[in-house]
Amino acid sequence: MAQTDELKTVGKRTSRLNGPDIVTGRIGYADDVQVPGMLYGRILRSPHGHARILKIDVSKALALPGVVDVVTGQDVPDTGFFAGDEVCYHGQKVGAVAATDPDIAEDALELIQVDYEVLPAVVDPLMGLAPDAPEAQLGASSQVVNGKRLPNVTSHAVTETGDVEKGFAESDAVVEYEYRVPMFHQTYLEPNAATARVEANGRLTVWTSSQGMFGIRDGLAEALGIPQSQVRVILQEMGGGFGAKNRVNVEGPAAVLALRTGQPVKVTINREEVFMDGRPAPGCWIRLKTGARKDGTLMAVEGQIVWDGGIEGRSGNARRLLGLYKVPNVRIEAFSVRTNKPVPGAYRAPGAPQTALARESNIDMVAHKLGMDPIEFRLKNAIGKGEQPGMDHDWLKDTIRQTAEKARWGRRRLKRNQGMGIACGEWQNGSGPTHADITMRGDGSVTVLTGQADITGVHTVMAQVVAEELDVPVEKVTVTLGDTDTVAYTSLSAGSKAAYSASTVAREAAENTREEVLKRAAAHLEASVEDLVLADEVIRVKGSPGQSVSLAELAEAAIGSAAGPITGRASLGSLKSHPSFSVNIATVEVDPETGRVKLIDLVAAQDVGRALNPMLVEGQIQGGAVQSVGFGLMEGIQYDDQGRVLNPNLLDYAIPTALDVPDIQTVIVEEPCEHGPYGSKGVGEPPIIPGGAAVANAIYSAVGARVTEVPTTPERVVAALKDADSNNR
């Protein structure tokens, strides 16, 4: 087994093995799938935020030449793929058309007549929290809180430790603010697409873009009321997901139309549909009160968080309002509220950027009120080694210090109206079931079969791990993605667990393969396994340089042997995990006349345990930081008072471009953890957490205005400046 201090491949800057295919367009995506006899599906969507469906007439659409089938929720009421007698958000699926041509399918949608009775829409989660609020979904379950029925509340919880009143009484500085965050979208480049086909034996095959094939298989099987064995899911290359492609979406309509028509059906949606009926990050309203002693010791945190949970009333983790600091006295009340918006999904670290905005802003304001440096204040209160499960080192404090050093905090000369802000984030990386099968070819090269979807270069990292353990060049390792028929159950490539779990199982499978190699070589060389050394693709007998056999010779001989080809395999259920920390320091310049904020520098750091591939880790950190800055400065889905989306396109929904973001300086903090492969941790989610909060703190540092609602538009900066000016008079 390779030791971490003598690694040849792991820890090296290796380009993605499929990078050339991606940039040249040779790789296949879900919309590239072509099947003989294929029909084209298009989806009919609700034009209202909330309405009853009184009547649907599809006769004119069915009469259009080229239309093969029209289906609505009245035809397949038990699947949940289409609305029944009520639509609960703008863009909800009402029906679908299958036609011989995509343009005919589009024309057919316009011929479907739907009579609606428009109902009041719940758009603001605070409005939806009221006892007399209209129901976002008629007759849905509700919660009773303090003796009052709250019709749109799906969950209510209180987290309480210590004595909050005493904690604030012992505090020398107390701040309290309200924060607002809208729903914001993952804005992946590739719109959702899927093709479904019913095979001759009646089984359903689905080609799609997803972060996990087994979740799609199981979701389709359950909705359609068929065994999992009757569904096969084949993943294509994914053009972005960031957590949004974790559940069934267009696969449902494609499958229903294919089953009804007996012909293959492809459903591809456009950008507007992605914005209306994707799974954006949830919005929220937060009131947060924070207190500390004059020596900088945090004493109490109290507050409320109301999650904008879309039509299912989903929520995030309220404890992230505390996150990475030691606070003895806490009371947090959390509500999840149903609104007339799509069901929220994951966006890298679900709920963490939202809570970081409030937590890190309050931390900064307490520090300013005490006259303390915001970094010193954080270091004083940061959790340390042994103070939380999995905290084997002072990862957080080390990351704060290294970020500050890189950003030249306190040593950088800033101009007028320029400021620096810091924010921190924390995430517990996950793990999940995964599997790897290794086969050695006759020329000594290696193939790895996995069910782990390849996001952010996971397959490249797996190849590096296998190459490391078998001592072969990484170019001789091929990683192939199987499908639900050919690989063991594999969990989502999500939750900062893909590389964490897949690299572990790849290492174990490679170790098993290595043991088999040495066993076969021992028989071939008439030596004991203990006397063999595998290096540079050759197995040698210690002390006898003339006694050797190459991997290629051994593998070729094995194919025709009684034992057969050289293989190895491993499966994994779960691993213990560790907290991982990210820290951003943003430098901004604010125009106090217009409120325009220019990001002029960003340092993004993360503790990763050990970087299995520093190039890919840097890409993760930089990509997440850009998304977080977008969350803080410009992104947010806008709804009118009827629940209609106002900006469902890339002209009106702003995301950062190369002109908006400077070169991001990355800091990779390496202090190996105990359980991850080679001491690594998951790295995918922490990078998105602190950027928006760091920008908000930098704005305050620059002009003394505290913006508490994102995105931090020029109008909101000007308003905050006016508030600051009036409060100082």
| Beta bridge partners of residue 53, listed in sequence order | 116
What residues contact residue 617 under an 8 Å CB cut-off, 6+ apart?
A: 606, 608, 611, 668, 683
The answer to whether the beta carbons of residues 145 and 153 sit under 8 Å apart is yes
Note if 685 is an active site residue. Answer: yes
Q: Where are the beta strands (DSSP E) in 282-430?
A: 283-292, 298-308, 329-337, 418-428
Candidate list 170, 685, 709, 715, residue with the active-site label: 685
**Within 10 A of 25 (CB to CB), how many other CB atoms are there?**
9
Residue 174, Cα to own-chain centre: how many angstroms? Answer: 34
The tokens for 9 are 């491949």
| Residues 359, 369: Cα–Cα separation, whole Å | 15
Q: 35 near 197, Cβ under 8 Å?
A: yes
Q: How do 231-235 and 265-268 pair as beta strands? A: unpaired
What the block records as the tokens of 429 is 């990386």
Strand, coil or helix: 547: strand
Contact 253, 93 (CB under 8 A): yes
For residue 188, give the 3-state DSSP assignment.
Answer: coil
The DSSP result for 133-165, as a single string, is PPPSSTT---EEETTEEETTEEEEEEEEES-HH
Helix (H) or strand (E) run with residue 605 in it: strand 597-607
Helices (H), 58-212: 59-63, 102-111, 125-128, 164-169
**C-alpha dihedral over 681, 682, 685, 688, to 10 degrees?**
50
Residue 310 to residue 531: CA distance in whole angstroms: 64
Q: What is the C-alpha separation between 575 and 430, in angstroms, rounded? A: 8
Q: Beta strand pairing status for 567-572 and 579-590?
A: unpaired
Q: What is the DSSP letter of 230?
A: G
CA 61 to chain centre: 39
CA distances from 212 to 216, 455, 504, 593, 644 (A): 7, 10, 18, 49, 31
Q: Is 722 exposed, middle or buried (0-12, 13-18, 19+ CB in 10 A)?
A: exposed
- Which residues does the annotation mark as catalytic? 685
